[in-house]
Amino acid sequence: MNSEVRMRVKDLPISERPYEKLEKWGPSSLSDAELLAIIIKSGSKKERSIELAQRILGIKKQGIRGIYDLTLEELQQVSGIGRVKSIQIKAIAELSKRISKNKAAEKVKISSPSSIASLYMEELRYLHQEHLKIVFLDTKNQIISDKFLTVGTVNASLINPREVFIESLKHNAVHIILLHNHPSGDPTPSKEDILITKRIIEAGNIIGIQLLDHIVIGDGNYISLKERGII
């Protein structure tokens, strides 16, 4: 047997092949490594795609979640992962995030802070810097659009209410919701968060655009300033 031949998934018993398992039992029957192996397709000369997938999942020691944090450069440092495979892995990670957001959007009720938080949770929870996002709503409290306003520390001195409401008027918004993430994973609002919120409320009262909520996103959790009685 030629030692240069790559280790192949089809060399596994049929019951252990990801493609066959998915066809017979459905995608939920596959492990994270098996799902990733399907994306990778082929392994290296020394290991099958499943073993390669397991190594990738172990880089950040966070399992499937770690893929969000891996850069193209970090992926390409893994033996057996080149430019194309690294791009495919990052593309599928981004796709999964967008699917999660769109599925949440189908059921969203704007009156519920938890539904708004779930809609934007996957987009914001993995970011390493603070991002402030505005959600624009119409008269029926349906989402018109959203936009990142700032990247970096959410500081009241760096956020001009004028910019918030210029963007709101551009989108013909009647109401707005602010969201921002805490990279630490702890969504407890800071003094700056509360100060920003109060400034936006005051400016909105003058302009006629109401701030419905300011939601701080942590790692899988959130705090609504409306629920806290600040709004």
Q: What is the pLDDT of residues 81-97, one digit of tens each?
A: 889 888 988 888 888 77
Question: What average pLDDT is seen over the chain?
Answer: 82
| Residue 151, phi-psi category: left (phi > 0), alpha (psi -120 to 50), beta (remainder) | beta
* Choice among 40-44, 212-216, 218-222 with the minimum mean pLDDT: 40-44
pLDDT tens, position by position, 69-79: 788 888 888 88
What pLDDT is stored for residue 181 in this prediction?
Answer: 94
DSSP 14-36: GGG-HHHHHHHH-GGGS-HHHHH
Interval 20-63: pLDDT, tens: 888 888 888 878 888 888 888 766 566 777 888 888 888 877 77
Helix axes 83-107, 32-40, angle to 10 degrees: 130
Burial of 15 (0-12, 13-18, 19+ CB in 10 A): exposed
pTM above 0.85, yes or no: no
Strand order in the sheet with 210-217: 143-151, 131-137, 175-181, 210-217, 222-224
Enter the tokens of residue 3: 């030692």
* CA–CA separation, 93 and 13 (whole Å): 28
CA distance linking residue 212 with residue 231, whole number of Å: 7
Contact 141, 180 (CB under 8 A): no
Residue spans of the domains in the chain: they are 9-99, 108-224
Tokens 């893929």, residue located: 67
pLDDT interval class at 80 (50, 70, 90): confident
Give 150's pLDDT tier (boundaries 50, 70, 90): confident
Q: What is the CATH number of domain 108-224?
A: 3.40.140.10
Residue 114 has pLDDT above 80, yes or no: yes
Amino acid (one-letter) located at 133 = K
